[in-house]
Structure 1
């Protein structure tokens, strides 16, 4: 059993350069969790490249099981990264798939 954790965000910034900077910072901070949070099996994050009505940035992470996902969510490094993410985002959508 593997959990696929998919999250996307809409950023609060509307100016393109500021939006890009916030997306870059989110990607750097969340990407840096790999190797720090042992439960992460894989993690991909990046900004939307199509635009339009799409959300601004998305993350896809893989965990062994729901318990591993839970440990990731409360890990101090994730909590710190999450504080930055919440400071620059307006909306969040998440779904966890059993694959």
Structure 2
């Protein structure tokens, strides 16, 4: 069974221009991990389009062949660098990992 890794981010910025800039940069950095992190099968990043203020702002959906690959992704230097950046622009995070 493959693993689906879903992460939701709430952006910290309060002005719309900064929020859009941060969302675009997070998307760019996350999508750049495809082809860099071994066993990252695919990854998509989307921006919330409804219920601003009550929904999370960004969703990351990625797939791995197994939990070991997900764990390797978590410590891969490219992911660590990207996660560090996202840590500076977010105020909240939620995640779930499940078999598909």
- TM-score (normalised: structure 2): 0.96
2:86 maps to which residue?
85
The gaps in structure 1 that reach 5 residues or longer are none
Q: CA deviation at 1:51?
A: 3.1
1:75 maps to which residue?
76
User: CA separation in 2, counterparts of 1:46 and 1:27?
Assistant: 8
Instruction: Note if 1:8 corresponds to 2:2.
Output: no
User: CA separation in 2, counterparts of 1:29 and 1:66?
Assistant: 22
1:94 maps to which residue?
95
Map 1:1-99 onto structure 2 (within 5 A).
1-52=1-52, 53-99=54-100
| CA RMSD, 1 decimal | 0.7
Aligned length: 99
The gaps in structure 2 that reach 5 residues or longer are none
